[in-house]
Amino acid sequence: MASTMGRTPPIRGTVCRSRPFTTRWDSKSGRPKSSCPAPSPPKSWRWSATPPDTTAPSQPGRGARVRIEMKHGEFMWTVKRKEKHFTDLHRDLRTHKALMKIPLTRSYSVRRTLPPNEERHMPSLPKGEENKQTRAESRKKQIEDYLNELLRMPLYRNYHAMMEFIDASQLSFIHDLGPKGLEGFVLKRSGGHRIPGFKCCGGSKICYRWSRRWLVVKDSFLLYMETDSGAISFVMLFDKEFNIKMDPREMKTKHRIRVNSLSRSLVLKCSSYRHACWWGQAIDDFVKKHSSAFLKDHRFGSFAREEKDIPAKWYVNGKTYMEDVADALEAAKEEIFITDWWLSPEIFLKRPVVEGNQWRLDCILKRKAQQGVRVFVMLYKEMSWALGLNSGYSKRTLRKLHQNIKVMRDPDHVYLWAHHEKIVVIDQSVAFVGGIDLAYGRWDDREHRLTDVGSMMLSHLEQAQAAASLSAPANGSSSEGNAGGFTHTDGKGINTLLDMMDQPKIKGKKKRTGLSIRKRLEKHSITFRHDSDSDLEEEEEKGPKVCGDPTGMGGELYGNTRFWHGKDYCNFVHKDWIQLDKPFDDFIDRYTTPRMPWHDIASVVHGSAARDVARHFIQRWNFTKRAKRKYRAPSYPYLLPKSHTTAQEQRYQVPNCINSKVQILRSAADWSAGIKYHEESIHNAYVHVIENSEHFIYIENQFFISCADNIHIFNKIGDAIAERIIKAYKEGKRYHVYVVTPLLPGFEGDINTGGGSAIQAVMHFNYRTMNRGERSIISQLRKEMGDHWINYFSICGLRTHAELEGRLVTELIYVHSKMLIADDNTVIIGSANINDRSMLGMRDSEVAVIVEDSETVASVMDGQPYQAGKFALSLRLDCFKTILGAYADPTIDVSDPVSEKFYKDVWMATCGRNATIYQKVFRCLPSSDVLSMTHLEGYLAKPGLDKEDPTRAHEELKKIRGFLVQFPMQFLCEQNLLPPIGSKEAIVPTEVWT
């Protein structure tokens, strides 16, 4: 065997079977499981040897090195060892075998036995030859046979000394983690993490400590594990700042290397300068070979690259989105990642509720957790004095379901900014991204109903079971049941349950004939013992409620023409949510107050793009685990990103997807993701797409706060819109910008009295972007083109109407979308609002996806044939048909978004006509007739047609098409909308509103 590594032919072989991704952690401790689970090698397991280099004989006395080339299925790696390493290994294995024979108890009654059918004879270590080239071939064959024999015996193959010898661990042969990388023991220095608010000089030994760890380098990350327990104690994701430093002058001490990334500066110590050079060069070479995509600064400054041929799908409104999320969750096999600004565990994902609680979110997650799927949930930890999300209740509810469900809340000490992403990731292969939280009020469809007064009951099976257990005497006489129930005979000998227990509370006047059954029984002094109210402490002591028991009363919930149960029926401008720990009790009167419809957009992507979404979640999860002491327990494991090399191996795909080019974008910073430099790739993408659009842009967004003055506002989206319109005007080209945004901000407040200070503060900055002040879009356009701006720029809202208990009602449709469509070929969908909070990267954390079509279909643009993108065109057509009423009236043509006929005769005419009719019938707010608070009282004093002439009002409302209404640009234009001095809204920084 040769003494020089470069000339030594390798010894080749395989080790043990490949392992699935799900075997990474023990379900209780959160630690990695044992390394090679196979008790014996498969029958096809064998080693193949390469003939030795006979010109370079072994020289054991001089520390000859042996290069061993290992192969296990798809995994290949090389191990370099000296003769002394073989001697040390043999000694350790002999000691291990001897210890296995030592009894475990003093009575010598229990002995550890060798595995069944295990060959007790340990192979002998071949002795070195004395520089005899003629025996080099036999020497190498002896070493190969020696290793072969050891690796065939589980007693030795699974022993830690053997695994260290061949550089293998429990993470070596996981297919989804990519190729086997570098592994081995290192000394690592503590510290170096980029955690805001925590700094240490690190210049003295008292500031850090050295620890021995097992280092693993994979194709997209490196990690190290504790030597005693095998628990993963740190994960570093590769990024554009990743580099290796080995300069002794920079390190201040010799034999050390520094591994830098956006999240940490990790220092490793080696036994010698040569060892340090080997580790540094090996890591650098491996990462450059397998991880080059992560080391680049991608388009828009994103952490993720553009991915081609990605199956993608859009969603308009929550109905179809939540249905696909439910089906994807049900198909999960390994992991589920969820992060939301707000999450309601009891939300129904499929409606109406016709299958009990099967499709309730908490029930789905519990069911999957019981099947062994690991569920990881990250919730925004709100300031309770400012927001009533009660994320603490959501966390407790989910954690109690199963030990496989892990929930984090973050942040603790960041008071102004929020985690705003809405992400659901299945097995790191399917990722839902958009603006829809899995929370109350978000489920809706294209009808945008205002009313929902259907009934809610226990299932017939539950009723029958309860009736059987509480059945009355055969003669039909009544009696009190020991559980507080009451039955009667219907005259046909069939016992039916009248009112066994409390049903969920429906607020408001219920339309029933006479007294309720419960009232009748109480009238005759028949009392019920059950009390559905219990405080949180009692619930914690009694344990979690059964998932099939939403009311805590032992039955499943079924709906009859009911879509929104309990807290899900909401109108948050009328009244914000309260008592979220009682999810099925109404908090507004659904018989007098219409709900506020919810218009939203989301998407789903697969493959490599889904891996990138998962990578963002993993980075946030691991950072939170490191930063918050309460999550450092092994029960909250570090998460590992799957390799992009296996991303195309789809086990599940959402139906009806369109292949497109996709890139994941985000807003992230040190406080939200623990990275050195903030990322604002969503903002950059918005500006780029607007500037490079040729025909039109269509925007739906919850906020519209832009036009930078570099004092209060910094994002440049509004300026990009104005500049692009001015460019089209100067070139004499047709170009349109459509903006759809809520008529009022989504804060509690009575608009009939001017709304609250929070509503007015957001209105101030919205109007500042639209038409008030010299920096507004319309002001910039007027300077260049006068009143011709109206031919280019349109801002609208959405409104609808219905009949509630015999009277006409209207309500705005809350636009919660965060979407841009350009030229029917490019789409941005995500969680980012058009404001500084979402766009600047240093504030709220966000995720979005930009989809660029690769498949085209024949369309029309400005009257000319046009090849439109299949994804973008279908999404734009659905949005236009929904808000313009084209689904109900097929004569409305929305195919050409640029033609003057569509812009003036369809878009502008529809929004103007609808706004005029609603003004006439309801005298609704906001309205351009109300210029200040002094005008408000007089405006409201004059009744609309809904009160003066209901018949005529019905006739007028028949002229309404769709939901689109003109935005009231002059509403309160003479009023100072900034928070008044002394109010709590005036105390908070201006950045909160922008």
By mean pLDDT, which of 86-95, 374-383, 401-410, 424-433 is the weakest? 86-95
819 contacts: CB under 8 Å, gap ≥ 6: 435, 601, 699, 700, 701, 827, 828, 829
Closest C-alpha to 163, from 133, 190, 186, 184: 184
Among the listed residues 422, 565, 616, 661, the single catalytic one is: 422
pLDDT for residue 33: 54
Q: Where are the alpha helices (DSSP H) in 693-775?
A: 717-731, 757-770
Active site residue 43: no
Contacts 24+ apart (CB under 8 A), 755-759: 756/985, 757/979, 757/980, 757/983, 757/984, 757/985, 757/986, 758/979, 758/985, 759/573
Catalytic-residue membership of 823: yes
pLDDT score for 847:
98
On the question of pLDDT at 132 being above 70, the answer is no
Least confident of 190-199, 310-319, 888-897: 190-199
Q: How far apart are CA 493 and CA 506, in angstroms?
A: 32
pLDDT, averaged across the chain: 82
Q: What pLDDT score was predicted for residue 20?
A: 63
Residue from 460, 479, 481, 459 nearest 469 by CA = 481
pLDDT at residue 460 tops 70: no
Active site residue 844: no
* 224, 234 Cβ separation under 8 angstroms: yes
Catalytic residue check, 870: no
Interval 554-570 mean pLDDT: 70
Position 4 pLDDT exceeds 70 = no
Tell me the pLDDT tens digit for each residue of 251-302: 556 778 899 999 998 989 888 888 888 888 989 999 999 988 999 999 999 9
* pLDDT on residue 489: 38
Judged against a pLDDT cut of 70, whether residue 145 lies above it is answered with yes
Nearest to 251 by CA among 263, 267, 239: 267
101: number of Cβ within 10 Å: 10
Return the closest-CA partner of residue 896 out of 793, 829, 823.
823
Among residues 953, 820, 805, 801, the alpha carbon closest in space to that of 875 is found at 820
What tokens does 477 get? 């006489």
Closest CA to 699 of 889, 826, 799, 856: 826
**pLDDT for 71:** 81
**CA-to-CA distance for 966 and 797, rounded, in angstroms?**
6
Query: What average pLDDT does this structure show over 623-633?
Result: 90
Alpha-helical segments (H) within 307-379: 318-331, 361-370
Identity of the highest mean pLDDT range in 167-176, 188-197, 547-556: 167-176
pLDDT level of residue 985 (50, 70, 90 thresholds): confident
Please check the confidence at residue 496 and state whether its pLDDT lies above 50.
Answer: no
Tell me, yes or no, if 712 is annotated catalytic. no
CA distance 810 to 800: 6
pLDDT tens digits, residue range 826-857?
Answer: 999 999 999 999 999 999 999 999 999 999 99
What confidence score (pLDDT) does residue 507 get?
60
Q: Which of 72, 269, 419, 420 is catalytic?
A: 420
- Tokens standing for residue 861: 């643009």
Nearest to 241 by CA among 678, 664, 644, 620: 678
* Predicted TM-score (pTM) of this structure: 0.86
Whether 564 has a pLDDT exceeding 80, the answer reads: yes
Average pLDDT over residues 628-651: 92
Q: Which helix (H) or strand (E) element contains residue 660? A: strand 658-668
DSSP letter at 905 equals I
Place 397 in a pLDDT band, splitting at 50, 70 and 90. very high
Please tell me the distance from the alpha carbon of residue 719 to that of residue 795, in angstroms, as a whole number.
16
In sequence order, the β-bridge partners of residue 664 are: 849
For 577, the 3-state DSSP assignment is coil
Select which of 313, 448, 818, 870 is catalytic.
818
Where residue 487 falls among pLDDT bands split at 50, 70, 90? very low
DSSP string across 775-839: TSHHHHHHHHHGGGGGGTEEEEEEEEEEEETTEEEEEEPEE--EEEEETTTEEEEES--BSHHHH
Alpha-carbon distances of 53 from 2, 50, 56, rounded to whole Å: 7, 9, 6
Could you tell me which residue, 720 or 515, shows the higher pLDDT?
Answer: 720
Out of 167, 324, 410, 427, pick the active-site residue.
Answer: 427
- Give the C-alpha separation, 574 to 752, whole Å: 11
Q: What is the pLDDT of residue 322?
A: 97
Could you tell me how many helices (H) and strands (E) the chain has, helices first? 26, 35
Q: Would the pLDDT of 55 be above 50?
A: no
If pLDDT is split at 50, 70 and 90, which confidence band does 915 have? very high
Q: Any idea what DSSP says for residue 908?
A: I
Residue 660, pLDDT above cutoff 70: yes
DSSP 457: E
pLDDT exceeds cutoff 90 at 107: no
Total number of residues shown for the chain = 994
Rounded to whole angstroms, how far apart are CA atoms 19 and 98?
30
Nearest CA to 408 out of 328, 359, 343 is that of 343
Flag whether pLDDT at 456 surpasses 80.
no
The pLDDT, as a whole number, for residue 118 is: 53
From the list 254, 178, 243, the residue with the least C-alpha distance to 216 is 178
Mean pLDDT of 71-91: 84
- pLDDT exceeds 90 at position 874: yes
pLDDT at 35 exceeding the cut of 50: no
| Share above pLDDT 90 across residues of the chain, in percent, rounded to a whole number | 52
pLDDT over threshold 60, residue 53? no
Task: Report strand pairing: 374-380 vs 335-340.
Answer: parallel
Highest mean pLDDT among 72-76, 492-496, 504-508, 672-676: 672-676
Q: Which of 47-61, 406-420, 920-934, 972-986 has the lowest mean pLDDT?
A: 47-61
Give the model confidence (pLDDT) of 963-977 as tens digits: 999 999 999 999 999
**Distance of alpha carbon 191 from its chain centroid, rounded?**
29
Give the whole-number percent of the chain exceeding pLDDT 70. 78
Q: Provide CB contacts within 8 A for 349, sequence distance 6+.
A: 322, 323, 325, 326, 359, 360, 361, 364, 438
Task: Find the mean pLDDT for residues 542-555.
Answer: 46
Alpha helix positions (H), 44-131: 83-100
Beta bridge partner(s), residue 815: 599
- The span from the CA of 359 to the CA of 353, in Å, is 8
Contact (Cβ atoms closer than 8 angstroms) between residue 185 and residue 216:
no
From the candidates 568, 670, 823, 896, give the one annotated as an active-site residue: 823
- Residue 613 — pLDDT band, cuts 50, 70, 90? very high
Is-contact 564 595, C-beta < 8 A?
Answer: yes
Query: How far is residue 96's CA from residue 916's CA, in Å, rounded to a whole number?
Result: 88
Residue 63: pLDDT above 70?
no
Task: Take residue 576 and report the two structure tokens written for it.
Answer: 């914000």
- What confidence tens digit (pLDDT) does each residue in 740-762 have? 999 999 887 777 776 678 889 99
Decide if pLDDT at 587 tops 50.
Answer: yes
Write the Ramachandran bin of 424: left for phi over 0, alpha for psi from -120 to 50, otherwise beta: beta
User: Measured over all CA atoms, what is the biggest interatomic distance in the chain, rounded to whole angstroms?
Assistant: 114
CA angle 281, 284, 288 (to 5 degrees): 140
Report residue 688's pLDDT band, with 50, 70 and 90 as the boundaries: very high
* DSSP assignment of 593-628: S----EE-EEEEEEHHHHHHHHHHHHHHHHHHHHH-
At 761, give phi and psi (nearest 5°): -65, -45
Residue 490: predicted pLDDT: 39
The sheet with strand 265-269 has its strands ordered as: 232-237, 221-226, 210-217, 183-189, 265-269, 256-260, 243-245
Q: What is the mean pLDDT of residues 708-734?
A: 96
Confidence of residue 497 (pLDDT cuts 50, 70, 90): very low
- Asked if the model's pLDDT at residue 38 lies above 60, the reply is no
Extract the tokens encoding 387.
């927001």
Arithmetic mean of pLDDT, 686-699:
98
- Average pLDDT over every residue of 656-665: 97
Annotated catalytic residue 642: no
**Are the beta carbons of 485 and 500 closer than 8 angstroms?**
yes
**Which residue in 447, 454, 439 sits closest to 563, CA to CA?**
454
Q: Enter the tokens of residue 789.
A: 């701006």
Section 863-868 average pLDDT: 96
pLDDT beyond 60 at 611: yes
381, 695, 816, 870: the active-site residue: 816
pLDDT of residue 74: 84
- Residues in Cβ contact with 519 at an 8 Å cutoff, skipping those fewer than 6 apart: none
Both tokens of 746, joined, read 């989504």
| The pLDDT of residue 515 is above 50 | no
Q: pLDDT grade, residue 442 (50/70/90)?
A: very high
| Beta-bridge mates of residue 666 | 847
Q: Of 135-149, 194-208, 220-234, 867-881, give the lowest mean pLDDT range.
A: 194-208
Predicted local confidence at residue 155, as pLDDT: 82
Reduced to 3 states, what is the DSSP secondary structure of residue 455?
A: strand
Q: Is the pLDDT of residue 666 over 90?
A: yes
Q: What are the start-end ranges of the H helices in 128-244? A: 136-151, 154-157, 160-165
